[in-house]
Amino acid sequence: MKINENEIQRAYSLAQERYASLGVDTEDILKRMQGIHLSLHCWQGDDVTGFENREGPLTGGIAATGNYPGKARNADELREDLQQVFRLLPGKHRLNLHAIYAETGTQKIERNQIRPEHFSRWIDWGKEHCQGLDFNPTCFSHPKSADGFTLSHPDTSIRQFWIEHCIASRSIGETFGRAFHTPSIVNIWIPDGYKDTPADRLAPRQRLLNSLNQILSHPISREYILDAVEPKLFGIGSESYVVGSMEFYVGYAIRRNILLTLDTGHFHPTESVADKISSLLLYLEGILLHVSRGVRWDSDHVVIYNEELQGLMQEVIRANALQRVYIGLDYFDASINRIAAWVIGARTTLRALLNALLEPYPLLQQAEKEGNLTLRLALQEEFQTLPSQAVWEYYLLTQSVPVGISFMEEIKTYEREKLSRRM
């Protein structure tokens, strides 16, 4: 499919006029778009396998299903894949790493012993391709998490191991923050919970609180890292009780002035994550989003353009909170081309952000202020279909990124030349 650049320009000019008539300056918005850096999750590239134990199972109640050929087998392949992804995204983005993506050569390094040097190749590569690096301790897929508990484990020595792992992770984040002159978000998610109804709901939470306090007691400047904690409703094997619940971490994040992570797959299916933003921002330092898509459960499907995504981005933009809401992706689909999965979800998220920026929000506010709720509804419906697509395509064009579905041609070529040789 050949895209005609003149047509894109013309469509943009018309859209620009239309938006201007509604008080929206598209040029200004396109400048703002360039300042938005998504945090791309490295784990879409290899189904959360990592390099520590490539034969071991993925545990912790999360699952990547499918076996599409061409999964990255090592760090070089993963980086090569990421470069291909970045080539298809407008703007410059961050990379979100997990501890299991350490490069320790032939040495086996325990997770409580990982050090910044095990990520030096990621840093060197990132300098060229990324706006910054974020980090996650990996508290799953490990013998010491096999019984479903980590930071809240009743056994002191196991708990201590995971505390040390998280402390080591923060110091890796600190190195990232120094190297990129932008704080590294270090996000703690643990799988801890019970399959069946617990007797004692309190004790594991007391232990988790204590472990987190020990982890955070090592002072690291916010110039270098931003700590985040990620709650969850349930997981496979923790259906009845999750130690790190929403209430647990909301309280903790407010008390410790750290970020709360909202993963869109971690709530009841009919719960609106978008609606939480304006409340939480009144109390929290900031929010990390794990943009994901649950289908019936926390299934981590590729992000698509749905009401939930649009609502979420609208809330971030309407609250004028881009400085305090960090936008990361978190999904892993192994049943389709993994590069395409990354690109589709990331482009969709950016498109939802652009749409939210283009919304003539003051007009909605005005109608509401005047008590004209009929007009508010009429405008809301009208704004669903303004010519934002023309602005998006123009943005892609100016960023020298394939416009429209033509990005799939590049992915097909890459699949033929690279992925299909990884058998």
290 binds Zn ion (CB under 5 A): yes
Strand-pair partners of 136: 98
* CB-nearer residue toward ligand RNT: 236 or 408: 236
134 binds Zn ion (CB under 5 A): no
By a kind-dependent CB cut-off of 5 to 8 A, residue 134 interacts, out of ligand RNT, Zn ion, none, with: none
Is residue 300 annotated as part of the catalytic site, yes or no?
yes
Q: Cα angle vertex 389, ends 387, 393, to 5°? A: 130
The amino acid occupying position 65 is T
Is residue 230 annotated as part of the catalytic site, yes or no?
yes
Q: What is the nearest approach in angstroms of ligand RNT to the Cβ of residue 136?
A: 5
With helix as H, strand as E and coil as C, how does the chain read? CCCCHHHHHHHHHHHHHHHHHCCCCHHHHHHHHHCCCCEEEHHHHCCCCCCCCCCCCCCCCCCCCCCCCCCCCCHHHHHHHHHHHHHCCCCCCEEEEEHHHCCCCCCCCCHHHCCHHHHHHHHHHHHHHCCCEEEECCCCCCHHHCCCCCCCCCCHHHHHHHHHHHHHHHHHHHHHHHHHCCCEEEEECCCCEECCCCCCCHHHHHHHHHHHHHHHCCCCCCCCEEEEECCCCCECCECCEECCCHHHHHHHHHHHCCEEEEECCCCCCCCCCHHHHHHHCCCCCCEEEEECEEECEEEEECCCCCHHHHHHHHHHHHCCCCCCEEEEECCCCCCCCHHHHHHHHHHHHHHHHHHHHHCCHHHHHHHHHCCCHHHHHHHHHHHCCCCHHHHHHHHHHHCCCCCHHHHHHHHHHHHHHCHHHCC
Task: Report the residue from 62, 186, 260, 316 that binds ligand RNT according to the rule CB under 6 A.
Answer: 62
**In this structure, are residues 70 and 81 in contact, taking their beta carbons and an 8 Å threshold?**
no
Task: Report the residue from 16, 39, 84, 136 that binds ligand RNT according to the rule CB under 6 A.
Answer: 136
Binding mask 184-203 for ligand RNT (x = CB under 6 A): -----x--------------
Please pick, among 330, 359, 393, 415, the residue that the annotation labels catalytic: 330
330 binds ligand RNT (CB under 6 A): yes
142 binds ligand RNT (CB under 6 A): no
* CB-nearer residue toward ligand RNT: 47 or 81: 47
Is residue 189 annotated as part of the catalytic site, yes or no?
yes
263 binds ligand RNT (CB under 6 A): yes
Please pick, among 46, 164, 230, 315, the residue that the annotation labels catalytic: 230
Is residue 275 annotated as part of the catalytic site, yes or no?
no
Is residue 298 annotated as part of the catalytic site, yes or no?
yes
Please pick, among 98, 144, 232, 276, the residue that the annotation labels catalytic: 232
* CB-nearer residue toward Zn ion: 2 or 296: 296
Is residue 81 annotated as part of the catalytic site, yes or no?
no
293 binds Zn ion (CB under 5 A): no
330 binds Zn ion (CB under 5 A): yes
Is residue 129 annotated as part of the catalytic site, yes or no?
no
Scan residues 107-126 and list those touching Zn ion (CB under 5 A): none
- Interface region with Zn ion, contact rule CB under 5 A, candidates 66-74, 239-247, 326-334, 357-365: 326-334
By a kind-dependent CB cut-off of 5 to 8 A, residue 43 interacts, out of ligand RNT, Zn ion, none, with: ligand RNT
Scan residues 207-246 and list those touching Zn ion (CB under 5 A): none
Scan residues 274-303 and list those touching ligand RNT (CB under 6 A): 290, 298
Q: What is the nearest approach in angstroms of ligand RNT to the Cβ of residue 230?
A: 5
Please pick, among 122, 189, 342, 392, the residue that the annotation labels catalytic: 189
Binding site for ligand RNT (CB under 6 A): 43, 48, 62, 136, 189, 230, 232, 263, 290, 298, 330
Active site residues: 189, 230, 232, 263, 266, 290, 298, 300, 330
